[in-house]
Amino acid sequence: MRPQAAVLGSPIAHSLSPVIHAAAYAHLGLDWSYGRVELQPGGFADFVNGLDDSWRGLSVTMPLKEVAAECGIPDEDVRLTGVANTVVFGEQRRVYNTDIAGLADALAASGLSGLRVATLIGNGATARSALVALARGGVRLVEVQGRNPERLAAFREWAERLGVEVQPRTLGAPLDPASELLVSTVPSAALEGRLDSLEVEYCPALRGVFDVIYHPWPTPLAERAETAGRVVGNGLDLLVYQARHQVRLMTGRDVPVEVLVSAVRAVTEAGVGS
């Protein structure tokens, strides 16, 4: 029986995870298949429980990361965030959060390390993973922007357990002048009409902007940041680096990140998945 894996989420047709994992399997000499499955949270448990022994793992994207956290034995990062993006099958079903390590790797590769102050847009599942990555990288003050005051307050209470001071702000507020990094975890539509007020161009300490979106790319925020001469990271960087950790968890073997980057570059330059 041919081993298989897949990425689950909605929408999922644009996902480049199959390209990345296929490149990893080819490099490792593994005859595994990897597909896409369109799935909503209500169907997640039945889908996972119905899989046969040929399944080795699942990549999980929005809106399934929170429900995935409850479908197996969690690692430390899943327990911390309540968010999982990886399911690994074996004697026991285990769930992991590789977004944290993936974002840390992507930021380091972009030269965005040694930061103390950051701005985080959003307070959902991806934002929780981002904040943990920032905290472990040494960030101690995070301005968190969102629309719902109650959710911002809950996020602040959770974040303070990590030793991070959180300053809640309304979505689209001008950046803290001391902010060295802006991480956006929201769809581009959420920032429509708010980019002027963010004042990315005028934040004196800002070194870089990381937008977790990669389709479509570039986002208006990324274009603005690039025009302002900031370092710009995107969701493809996160996707590649977190996928490297997923491959290791699913196969027990490592793949050079350059193999995965080359595979993504080949399809994006050809206009596939963009």
Q: Which residues have a catalytic role annotated?
A: 65
Q: Which amino acid is at 37?
A: V
**Which residues does 99 contact at the CB level (< 8 Å), separation at least 6?**
83, 85, 126, 129, 130, 133, 238, 242
Strand partners, 117: 141
**Whole-angstrom distance, CA of residue 255 vs CA of residue 129:** 23
**Which residues does 258 contact at the CB level (< 8 Å), separation at least 6?**
none
Token pair, residue 117, equals 């102050």
Do the beta carbons of residue 118 and residue 139 sit within 8 Å?
yes
Looking at residue 209, the DSSP 8-state letter turns out to be: E
**Whole-angstrom distance, CA of residue 235 vs CA of residue 50:** 31
Strand partners, 5: 34, 57
